Chains A and B, each alone.
Chain A
Amino acid sequence: MSAAVRFRASAEGVAGLAILALLGLVALLAPVLHPGDPLDIVGAPLTRPFTVLATPLGTDWLGRDVLAMIVHGARTSLTVGLAAAFVAISIGVAVGTLAGLFGRWVDETLMRVTDAFQTIPGFLLALAFVSTVGPSLATVVFAIALGAWTGPARLVRAEVLSIRERDFVAAARVVGMHPLAIAVREVLPHALPPVVSLAAVIVAGAILTEAALSFLGLGDPNRATWGGLIAEGRSVLRSAPFLSIWPGLALVVTVLGVHLAGEGVVAALALRRSGP
């Protein structure tokens, strides 16, 4: 069975991909669906959901369209989630490959640094980083990546350690291939598939961390974010709980979609998730 066939055979994967495709479409078309700044005031404050046609999910205490903000928030969530996962996996692959290939003191040093990053609560680190450097999309992405690269680093290192003992790597060494070329062309392609299966967990974690950061007021202040919307809804939680409920539901659906798609990827790569 090819990977695509196995992916289609997994009901979870198909459902997850459908959710993500829909979300991606909404995020891409946000400027068309709701043109203009989503943070503009468009109506009376605190209209209930499903009462006014122009603002189907209601308005917040300033009279801003909740649906428009959620649609634009999808852009932020997906961008940050994917970008942070990409940065985290890139750092992790680089560190893991170096540690696994060079061994000895390089391995020892890099692994102690990895230990240190795993010992600090990642969210505290992100909090400290964003608060010192200042909230912007790039800082939030990097702050999240700071706490998420250790998983892929350990995984890649373990893979590299086993792959570098194989015959084809020895053969490449014998024919005089440059160590860097061996790393990139021979070892990495075999070490990557297990990391791909980790990607979904990292993307989901990144989306949740971004939401938590903006919930605490450390997101990009010029963008509509789901976490920020939930936080703003808190002040009127007793009278208008829907303001916090809607963006949270959007988060749940997104993260669920990522997890489901991840199950599909695991099935497609025919990987067994083995216990530690």
Chain B
Amino acid sequence: MNRAFVLVRRRLLGAVPVLAIVVVGTFALLESAPGDAVDAYLGTTGGDRGLVDQLRRDWGLDQGPLQRLGLYLAALARLDLGWSVAFSRPVLDVILERLPNTLLLMGSAVALAFGLGSLLGVVAGSRPGGPADRILSIGSLALYAVPGFWLGLVLIVVFAVQLRWLPSGGIETIASGKQGLARAGDIARHLVLPVAALGILYLALYLRMMRAGMVEVWRQDFARAAFARGLPHRHIVWRHVARNALLPLVTMLGLQAATMLGGSVVIESVFAVPGLGRLAHEAVAQRDTPLLLGIILVGAVLVIAVNLAVDIAYAALDPRVGAGQETSA
């Protein structure tokens, strides 16, 4: 367990400068935007010069950029992400309210992609060059080219409009009064299409990685030795080849966390899922700088957390990891 502890400490220490760069970088980017929150706010309500100046003072927008960065950092230390102009509520509250939906969506998509993807990858990689491999390789390459948001619309047309099997959007039936299991079932029904739209690209990715990894392992001496000893094909595939090809997929899981969070922005917009991604789109539309900044920051923290979890899982799966000296980044 000491191994995992060392790993976690190293990761957390490494995350500090990264987060600092993220904060300063996003602040600088949004600083350079024409117009500020006051302009955006008054664009919808209207107001005179005096109100403009007073609001700028109230929101600290009349000070220099460095002071504002300082104010922002000080507030961050108190876990205060600022005030959302669009929602008239603290940014952190708005984000935390939306976060569970995104986690549910992403978690389900990862489970689908990783589970089914690696399974199909084993099917393809158990006999490289065989008929199943050809079909799955071509199919996954085609799936890999499909934009998730477009796939989402196609799924809506087929399953929600034509067949009327599944709802076309939202996270649950509004004001249905459902509780407990009935509510969970309702949410699950609403999640089927968005999870499929978000996950299928990664399913194709894991399938291809698993297959490529297995092709490599088949060439290695221990796999050939197992074959030479006359072990059953099924036994070699599962116990020797697939197991060794699985590790790189776990690494990929962490690497893809950021991309998937980005992908959920569009998917949540397509399916009207009230999550973090849709919130980002709303923040952009309403020029809500503190909110967008907060989402990016929470997104970065989320990605770091996922990578930490992946590292621990990796250390548990592979006893060589973190056992020896520091490996290079």
Enumerate chain A interface residues (CB-CB to B < 8 A).
Answer: 111-113, 115-116, 118-125, 127-129, 131-134, 147, 204, 208, 211-212, 215-216, 218, 230, 233-234, 237-238, 241, 244-245, 248, 251-256, 259-260, 273-276
Residues of B with C-beta under 8 A to A121: 258-259, 261-262, 265, 296, 299, 303
Chain B proximity of A194: nearest CB distance (Å): 16
B141 (CB) vs chain A CBs: closest residue: A259
Chain A residues contacting B209 (CB-CB under 8 Å) are: 275
Residues of B within 8 A of A115 (CB): 14, 17-18, 21
Central interface residue in B29, B252, B258, by most chain A CB within 10 Å: B258
Q: Please list the 5 inter-chain residue pairs (A to B) with the smallest Cβ-Cβ separation, ordered nearest first.
A: A123-B262, A132-B33, A248-B150, A121-B262, A116-B21
Q: Whose C-beta in chain B lies nearest to the C-beta of A113?
A: B21
Q: A115-B14, A230-B150 are in contact. Are A238 and B263 (CB under 8 A)?
A: no
- Give Cα distance in the complex from A273 to B212, angstroms: 8
A216 touches B261 (CB 8 A): no
CB proximity of B261 to chain A, nearest CB, Å? 4
Apart from A121-B259, A212-B265, 8 more pairs, CB < 8 Å = A116-B19, A118-B255, A121-B265, A124-B296, A125-B296, A132-B29, A237-B157, A275-B213
Q: Is A204 within 8 A of B150, CB to CB?
A: no
Within 8 Å of chain A (Cβ to Cβ): is B146?
A: yes
Query: How distant is the Cα of A116 from the Cα of B34 in the complex, in angstroms?
Result: 25
Complex formed: what's the CA distance from A134 to B32 in Å?
11
Q: How many angstroms from the CA of A254 to the CA of B147 in the assembled complex?
A: 11
Residues of A contacting B303 with CB < 8 Å?
119-121
In the assembled complex, which residues on chain A have CB atoms less than 8 Å from the CB atom of B300? 116, 119-120
Chain B interface secondary structure, helix, strand, loop or mixed?
helix
A125–B259 CA distance with the chains assembled, in angstroms: 11
B1 at the interface (CB under 8 A from A): no
* CB neighbours of A112 from chain B (8 A): 17-18, 21
Q: How far is the CB of A20 from chain B (nearest CB, A)?
A: 13
Given contacts A216-B266, A248-B150, contact A124 B142 (CB under 8 A): no
- Rounded to whole Å, the gap between the CB of B34 and the closest CB of chain A is 8
A230 & B157 in contact (Cβ 8 Å cutoff):
no
Q: Let me know if B93 is at the binding interface, CB within 8 A.
A: no
B41 at the interface (CB under 8 A from A): no
Verify if B153 is at the interface (C-beta below 8 Å from A).
yes
Within the complex, the shortest CB–CB distance from A17 to chain B, in Å, comes to 15
Bound-state Cα–Cα, A111 to B22, Å: 13
User: Shortest distance in angstroms between A206's beta carbon and chain B's nearest beta carbon?
Assistant: 12
Mark interface residues in B1-36 (1 if CB within 8 Å of A CB, else 0).
000000000000010011101100110011011100
What per-residue 1/0 map shows which CB atoms of B200-226 lie under 8 Å from chain A?
Answer: 000000000100110010000000000
A124 touches B161 (CB 8 A): no
Cα separation A128 to B273 with both chains bound (whole Å): 20
With both chains docked as a complex, state the minimum distance between the C-beta of A62 and any C-beta of chain B, in angstroms. 19
Contact call A252/B161, Cβ cutoff below 8 A:
no
**Chain A contacts for B265, CB-based, 8 A:** 121, 123-124, 127, 212, 216
**12 pairs, CB–CB < 8 Å, chain A vs chain B:** A118-B255, A121-B258, A121-B296, A121-B303, A123-B262, A124-B295, A211-B147, A216-B269, A230-B153, A241-B161, A251-B147, A252-B150
Query: B281 on the interface (CB 8 Å rule)?
Result: yes
CA of A104 to CA of B299, assembled, Å:
30
